[in-house]
Amino acid sequence: MALTPLDKQQLRPLLYPVLTHLGPQGDGGYVVPADQIPHCRFLISLGLCDNWKFAKDFLKLNPAVSIVGVDHSVGPTFFIAGMPFCLGKIVGYALIFNGAKLRRYTGRLRDYVDYFSFFKGPHKHLRKRVCASMSGPLDITLTAILNTDAQGGEHDVFLKMDIEGSEYEIVPDIIKNHSRIRCLAAEFHRVHERTEEFNQAIRLLAKHFTIVHIHGNNIGPYSETIDFPVSLEITWVNRDILKHDLDRSTMSYPREGLDVPNTPTRPDYKLKF
């Protein structure tokens, strides 16, 4: 139960004129500033699992971008081991004419094979766990990831983050490296249990970044305690690159034509600021 009320006032986005949805039509997709994508040299995706459709959509809009996926929980062995399982499911569901399940596992198998062709050349997967400090061999900090490129410039990074609760400890590193980060799209988890931490994280980020979109993830529950979804997908733009002041948005959220329910079979959560 939250001991601190959720500070909703600081969550109301500013009205950004050019937004688009990247990624799957479900969990893993984000609404982002379309006009900022061509200015990024790097897309750093903290949290990968078996879904990099956001990265592929980003690449279509900026073919020159270099993509770095960071996730210690998956790798070549994971995807190779999963292929026979997917093949077995495909055969089984084909025999019983279950088209929906057949499409699901065919798509998953396609993704598993795609891992080996996508993460090569300028794009790479770091089998690391992003943390506030490097206390073990699997650990890596955001600063260390950014410093792997000695020629990094100002506002050249789009940072996407979905690391299942560890996002709170990464916020100071984001602030430390704010001059590199052009845009940030992140999911914050368990907001109803970590309300004070969440409020503080949003206040810290507001020193250098402006919220331009917010969406409640309907995979998780809606908390009556904070009167808000417990998992929030939020998009920021670095204040330094904004050429004009933006008005406070009076739009309803979710935004029609932009937002997609993470669970398609359930309605999206309407946000009350």
Summarised one tens digit per residue, pLDDT across range 208-265 is 999 999 999 999 999 999 999 999 999 999 999 998 889 999 999 999 999 999 999 9
Q: How many CB atoms lie within 10 A of CB 149?
A: 15
Tens digit of pLDDT for each residue in 30-64? 999 999 999 999 999 999 989 899 999 999 999 99
Distance of CA 162 to the CA centre of its chain: 5
Query: Considering the chain, what is the average pLDDT of its residues?
Result: 93
Of the candidates 167, 130, 156, the residue with the CA atom closest to the CA atom of residue 145:
130
The pTM for the full model equals 0.93
Distance of CA 132 to the CA centre of its chain: 18
**CA angle (198, 47, 27) in 5-degree steps:** 80
Better-predicted residue by pLDDT, 39 or 165:
39
Omega within 30 of 0 (cis) for the link into 63: no
Per-residue pLDDT, 2: 47
